Amino acid sequence: NAMIDMEGNPTELYEYVREANLYLRPAGSGLIGWDNEFIARYEKGEMLPGGSSPIAKPTGNEAHLIVGTFTRGHKRRVVISNSRCETIAKFSLNISPGWQVDAIVTSMDATPSNNQEPGGDWILEAGGSVILELKPKS
């Protein structure tokens, strides 16, 4: 699959990459100056060996995800991305005691299923991603 066909016309992949780039620009800006602390890959809700995600843990049989944790001072940003480009990811997000979601920094094709609580159940469309900002509970 190419982004442009033999006649120079955009393909479906072109539109997907264009949308992804629109998301990545603010997402990348949202992580400038933040240090990567942990990274983990989940398949069917199980973390694969070698990963670590101590603050935000997804669960669920449809959780095929990559979770990165970034730090700046006392705050954390968690990037959760659907690792599949052909299927949705449904999962529950468990936030460690002592932490709470402060904000959704940016998202693409990502929706909290109850539309209110970012630390609860989520649906990420194929290739979807979200950046959450967490802070210590007061």
**How many angstroms separate the CA atoms of 124 and 21, rounded?**
17
Question: What is residue 90's predicted lDDT score, i.e. its pLDDT?
Answer: 92
Cα 19 versus chain centre, distance: 15
Contact 91, 61 (CB under 8 A): no
Degrees to nearest 5, angle at CA 39 with 23 and 67? 45
DSSP H or E stretch at residue 101:
strand 99-112
**How many angstroms separate the CA atoms of 80 and 110, rounded?**
9
Question: What is residue 70's predicted lDDT score, i.e. its pLDDT?
Answer: 94
CATH second-level architecture of 35-136? Sandwich (2.60)
**How many angstroms separate the CA atoms of 28 and 100, rounded?**
22
**pLDDT mean for each 10 residues of the chain (138 residues):** 82 73 68 91 90 91 91 92 88 91 88 67 89 91
List pLDDT tens digits, range 1-35: 677 888 888 887 777 677 766 656 666 777 888 99
Question: What is residue 52's predicted lDDT score, i.e. its pLDDT?
Answer: 92
Listed by start position, the domains of the chain span 35-136
